[in-house]
């Protein structure tokens, strides 16, 4: 393949590619895969991609797996870039799009990262993989480990959505529930991995999940005739998708596929857990741990992200911003996406809608700009988050439980 080496995203120390690595041994920051982009650009044209398979492995030369037989896939990626005309009209925007990641295997964009990470783990001889997760990463890891014949060891907060726990259990993963947040789960993996012989695939603590997520950037360009949008609005937890897209844009420019223009990158977080928003507003390059993190959008409940500086650098370099929205706002946003577009979004995806409204109010977007919202997962996995709302909205005497079967006919 065309991987030259790995490189620390912070201190630039180089590492050999064909070995297992987690973070930089000097500075503890994430490692990035580097490719011989000149060579790839010389033979791979954009037109050559059009006839390829409809998943993220269409970008095979730009992914790290060497042998075809090591690819662990369930059809992830190549999701619709949906022109949201109804929501756009309601907001006064003509070019509003939703990248709908709920169509991925296991119903979230975590499938992208896990497909590539599990493939690479398999290629490098790993048998047991461990990860802390707010839910969707665990569900995806369980599925890809089942597909690839590896064992998954998953650590999740006790209040993780039930759908995530059940999908992991049916896929045969080993599950440990932790009284705490994803950071506590991560610490537990860190404590035990050596002794248990687990390979740790925590967000940005191994180099390959971000490679899977970067394909979001390639897809958006390819689906828009190799132009990039003006604004990208991304619900941010650990930030892998945003960091990955930012990497993809640079790669595509080096390949000669796009020019210098970059979208303004907007990071959305929940008001109850907004470390990136706070650091952005304070002008800091690293984000302090956010105390007492709470939000119903479990994928956004990441009080401390190892890739904080990568997220913040991308936001600032692109002249973007960071926005916090309340849980009420993000659930209302998900409901609005469903009502206006028929997309039943995860609460995290729903968060993009009130964030966009705030940008409009603050004069940060123009009515004819091309804007892409990320719906990162499916609302189906968060029924409790919507159910309690549904109950509150339905008058007490009309709730199904209050009606006898005879009254329902």
Ligand X SMILES: *Cc1c(COP(=O)(O)O)cnc(C)c1O
Q: How far is the CB of 402 from ligand X (least distance, A)?
A: 33
Q: Which is nearer to ligand X, 136 or 321 (CB)?
A: 136
Among Zn ion, ligand X, none, the one that 11 touches (CB under a kind-dependent 5 to 8 A) is Zn ion
* Helix, strand, coil percent values for the chain (each to nearest 5): 45, 15, 35
Q: How far is the CB of 96 from ligand X (least distance, A)?
A: 19
Residue nearest ligand X, Cβ-based: 299
Q: Which is nearer to ligand X, 257 or 280 (CB)?
A: 280
Q: How far is the CB of 215 from ligand X (least distance, A)?
A: 13
Among ligand X, Zn ion, none, the one that 170 touches (CB under a kind-dependent 5 to 8 A) is none
Between CA 118 and CA 126 the distance in angstroms is 9
Q: Which is nearer to Zn ion, 11 or 42 (CB)?
A: 11
Q: How far is the CB of 236 from ligand X (least distance, A)?
A: 5
Q: Is residue 8 a contact residue for Zn ion (CB under 5 A)?
A: yes
Q: Which is nearer to ligand X, 77 or 299 (CB)?
A: 299
The number of residues that bind Zn ion (CB under 5 A) is: 8
Among ligand X, Zn ion, none, the one that 24 touches (CB under a kind-dependent 5 to 8 A) is Zn ion
Q: Return residues touching ligand X (CB under 6 A).
A: 108, 110, 136-137, 203, 235-241, 299, 346, 348, 376-377
Q: Which is nearer to Zn ion, 12 or 162 (CB)?
A: 12
Q: Which is nearer to Zn ion, 26 or 328 (CB)?
A: 26
Q: Is residue 346 a contact residue for Zn ion (CB under 5 A)?
A: no
Among ligand X, Zn ion, none, the one that 299 touches (CB under a kind-dependent 5 to 8 A) is ligand X
Q: How far is the CB of 197 from ligand X (least distance, A)?
A: 26
Site string for Zn ion, 24-53 (x = CB under 5 A): x-xx-x------------------------
Among ligand X, Zn ion, none, the one that 139 touches (CB under a kind-dependent 5 to 8 A) is none
Q: How far is the CB of 337 from ligand X (least distance, A)?
A: 13
Sign of CA dihedral 127, 79, 104, 187: positive
**Pairing state between β 151-157 and 128-132:** parallel
Q: Which is nearer to Zn ion, 22 or 79 (CB)?
A: 22
Mind spelling out the 3-state secondary structure of the chain? CCEEEEEECCCCCEECCCCCCCCCCCCCCCEEEEECHHHHHHHCCCHHHCCCCCCHHHHHHHCCCCCHHHCCCCCCCCCCEEECHHHHHHHCCCEEEEEEHHHCHHHECHHHHHHHHHHHHHHCCCCEEEEECCCHHHHHHHHHHHHHCCEEEEEEECCCCHHHHHHHHHCCCEEEEECCCHHHHHHHHHHHHHHHCCEECCCCCCCCHHHHHHHHHHHHHHHCCCCCCCEEEEECCCCHHHHHHHHHHHHHHHHCCCCCCCCEEEEEEECCECHHHHHHHHCCCCCCCCCCCCCCCHHHCCCCCCCHHHHHHHHHHCCCEEEEECHHHHHHHHHHHHHHHCCCECHHHHCHHHHHHHHHHCCCCCCCCEEEEEECEEHHHHHHHHHHHHHHHCCHHHCHHHCCHHHHC
Cross-strand bridge partners of residue 128: 151
Among Zn ion, ligand X, none, the one that 26 touches (CB under a kind-dependent 5 to 8 A) is Zn ion
In 3D space, the residue among 40, 74, 43 whose CA is nearest the CA of residue 57 turns out to be: 74
Q: How far is the CB of 80 from ligand X (least distance, A)?
A: 16
Q: Which is nearer to Zn ion, 12 or 261 (CB)?
A: 12
Q: How far is the CB of 58 from ligand X (least distance, A)?
A: 21
Q: How far is the CB of 239 from ligand X (least distance, A)?
A: 4
Q: Which is nearer to Zn ion, 23 or 265 (CB)?
A: 23
Among ligand X, Zn ion, none, the one that 140 touches (CB under a kind-dependent 5 to 8 A) is none
**Which residues contact Zn ion (rule: CB under 5 A)?**
8, 10-11, 13, 24, 26-27, 29
């Amino acid at each position: 393949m065309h991987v030259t080496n790995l490189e620390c995203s912070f201190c630039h120390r180089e590492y050999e590619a064909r070995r297992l690595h987690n973070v930089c041994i000097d500075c503890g920051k994430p490692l990035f895969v580097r490719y011989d982009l000149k060579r790839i650009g010389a033979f791979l044209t954009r037109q050559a991609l059009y006839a390829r398979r409809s998943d993220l492995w269409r970008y095979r030369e730009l992914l790290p797996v060497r042998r075809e037989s090591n690819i662990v896939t369930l059809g992830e990626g190549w999701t619709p870039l949906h022109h949201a005309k109804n929501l756009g009209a309601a907001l006064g925007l003509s070019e509003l799009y939703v990248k709908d990641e709920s169509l991925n295997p296991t119903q979230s964009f975590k499938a992208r990262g896990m497909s590539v990470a599990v493939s690479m783990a398999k290629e490098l001889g790993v048998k047991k993989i461990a990860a802390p997760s707010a839910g969707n990463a665990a569900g995806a890891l369980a599925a890809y480990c089942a597909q690839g014949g590896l064992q998954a060891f998953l650590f999740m907060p006790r209040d993780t959505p039930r759908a995530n726990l059940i999908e992991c259990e049916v896929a045969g993963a080993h599950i440990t529930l932790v009284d705490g947040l994803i950071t506590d789960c991560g610490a537990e993996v860190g404590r035990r991995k050596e002794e248990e012989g687990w390979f740790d695939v925590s967000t940005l603590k191994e180099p390959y999940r971000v490679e899977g997520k970067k394909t979001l950037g390639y897809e958006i360009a390819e689906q828009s005739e190799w132009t990039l949008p003006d604004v990208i609005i991304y619900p941010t937890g650990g930030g892998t998708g945003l960091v990955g897209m930012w990497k993809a844009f640079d790669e595509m420019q080096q390949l000669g596929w796009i020019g210098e223009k970059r979208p303004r990158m907007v990071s959305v977080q929940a008001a109850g857990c907004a470390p990136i928003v706070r650091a952005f507003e304070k002008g800091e390059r690293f984000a302090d741990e956010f105390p007492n993190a709470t939000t119903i959008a479990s994928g956004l409940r990441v009080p401390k992200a190892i890739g904080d500086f990568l997220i913040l650098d991308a936001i600032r370099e692109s002249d973007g911003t960071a926005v916090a929205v309340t849980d009420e706002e993000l659930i209302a946003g998900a409901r609005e996406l469903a009502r206006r577009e028929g997309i039943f979004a995860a609460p995290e995806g729903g968060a993009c809608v009130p964030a966009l409204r705030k940008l409009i109010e603050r004069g940060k977007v123009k009515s004819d700009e091309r804007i892409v919202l990320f719906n990162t997962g499916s609302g189906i996995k968060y029924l409790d988050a919507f159910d309690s709302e549904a109950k509150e909205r339905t008058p007490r005497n009309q709730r199904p439980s209050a009606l006898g079967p005879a009254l329902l006919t």
